[in-house]
Structure 1
């Protein structure tokens, strides 16, 4: 009969499908994405964009760390179910705080972030007492305990808040890359950081659907708030088409090869890198949602520099993440995607047409990438079959 710590760990025969509570946890992430988009809308400057990126990266790391937990431990055990529920609540609270996360609600945002990581660490260290995997859990808890001090110091020192939080987040993101080295405990070895490729690939696909769902929701709510005139209707349809094509660009082909790649790779490298690249793609979708709200609400207004950069920059940022994702997974570069970056950047810098026209250009460019990518995939398959 397996010991209590052994029962906590995810077995090799465990289902790769996400559990109900993992999907429930994803729903809490919807609010965080929506609220970070609102933070950018109300801080429509370069500095505001950078501060939004800090908030988004923090809530994203809650998602990544929780997803790794559900991969290392059995999400059907009562203890891990409780951890997932706490993580869902923490994500909701971080989302509630996000629009004022660097100001009046900084304590709530930092408290939610720190609380999720510390609760998870304390629970896993306690439940793994006497098991070799306790050392991994203890290393991770030590790192989050150190950065918790920095996060909370940022709450108490408003003038230093952004700098302190950036520093703390960098440490949190660096930990898994180094194996969380800790005095007297050393660093985690490769086998301790193993991730189940099939499970993690499915979770990334699910969170991308959540991100696209946020984009569609923003488009629908923005359209519902208009007079349903022709310009607003066209802007809404363009955003919907963009959302569909972003989804198509994600799933083929590298998105389908992520699982086997993770099974073969060093998790401290590829496991972390894929998380970073998905953050870039999610950030692109959030930025696209901000641009969607602008173009649907004010389709005939002439675009200024900021709005042009947002409407063009959302798809461009997604494509940057997607290009690097393909390069990481199967060492290939999609030149149509690279060319699209130059087109989107050139339009954002050089042209100031109405927002509807900017949205149309962005949609056409993404459509061209989808078509050219599809033609390239079919051509590649034809060559392979003839060989």
Structure 2
């Protein structure tokens, strides 16, 4: 019979598919991503983009660490279930606070963020007492306890809020890359950080679907508020095409090979790097959702440089993350995607067309990349079969 601590850990016979509560947890990000898109829409400046990026990174790190947690522990354990429900509530509260997180709701945002991480660390450290893996959770608990100080201090010190939160996030993001080094405990060993590749890759696909769903939802709601005239209809269809093409670009082919790559890689490298790169891709989808609202609501508007940069910048951010993602998995660059990135960057500078035409340009570039990807995959398969 397994000991009490062992019953908390994911066993070899535990299904690798996401549990119901993991999917329930993902729903909290529908609100968070929607709030982030609105936060950026109402402050389309460089400073506004940086503030949105700060909040997105904090919310994203709740998701990432919860995905690791659910990968290491048995999702059927009552303690794990309770912590997943708590993480869902914390994510919802962070989403509620997002529009004013840097102003009147800073305490709610920081408090929700800290509570999710510290409560999870405290419960798992206590539950694993006497078990060899307690040192792993204790290291993580110590790091999040340290970063909690600048998080909470920033919530109560408006003048220092942004630098303190940037510092706190830097601690949280660099910790796993370094193996959470802690006095007297050292760094976590590679075997302690092992991730079930199939489960982890599936979780990434699910959160990408959530982000794409937010894009489609924004497009539908914005289109519903128009008179359904031809330019708005064209803009809506172009946003839908953008969502489809981004989805295809994600899963082909590195997105489908992530699980195998993680199984055979150092998790402190690939497991953490892919978390950073998915943040870039998710950020691209948030910006794309803002661009979707602008293009559908004002399809014939021309000469708005900010709107053009947003409409083109979303796919650019996604492509940049996707290029680096392929580099991390395959250790090679996709030159068609690199070329597409430069084309989109040039378009954001020179295009002064109506916004629906700018959106069409972005879709055309994405479509070319998808076609070239498919042609490359088919050529590779023919070569392999002839061998």
Q: Deviations over 1:210-252 (max 9, x none)?
A: 0100000000000011111111000000000110010011111
Q: CA deviation at 1:303?
A: 3.8
SS of the counterpart of 1:252? helix
Q: CA deviation at 1:186?
A: 1.4
After superposing the two structures, state which structure 1 stretch, 49-58 or 297-306, moved more.
297-306
Matched with 1:385 is 385
Q: Deviations over 1:21-52 (max 9, x none)?
A: 00000000111111111110111100100110
Q: Distance in 2 between matches of 1:180 and 1:335?
A: 36
Q: Distance in 1 between matches of 2:98 and 2:161?
A: 14
Q: CA deviation at 1:160?
A: 1.2
SS of the counterpart of 1:213? helix
Matched with 1:299 is 299
Show the 5 A alignment for 1:288-367.
288-367=288-367
Structure 1's unaligned 5+ residue stretches are none
Q: Distance in 2 between matches of 1:355 and 1:159?
A: 38
Q: Distance in 1 between matches of 2:231 and 2:298?
A: 9
Q: Deviations over 1:183-213 (max 9, x none)?
A: 1111111111111101000000000100100
Matched with 1:59 is 59
Q: Distance in 1 between matches of 2:346 and 2:178?
A: 39
Matched with 2:167 is 167
SS of the counterpart of 1:181? coil
TM-score by length of 1: 0.99
Q: CA deviation at 1:273?
A: 0.3
Change (3 A) 1:356 1:114: same
Q: Does 1:237 align with 2:237?
A: yes
Matched with 1:81 is 81
Q: CA deviation at 1:296?
A: 0.3
Q: Distance in 2 between matches of 1:159 and 1:329?
A: 41
The number of aligned residues is 387
Show the 5 A alignment for 1:50-199.
50-199=50-199
Matched with 1:269 is 269
TM-score by length of 2: 0.99
Q: Distance in 2 between matches of 1:81 and 1:330?
A: 36
Q: Distance in 2 between matches of 1:177 and 1:331?
A: 19
Q: CA deviation at 1:383?
A: 2.0
Matched with 1:200 is 200
Q: CA deviation at 1:384?
A: 2.3
Q: Does 1:374 align with 2:379?
A: no
Q: CA deviation at 1:11?
A: 0.6
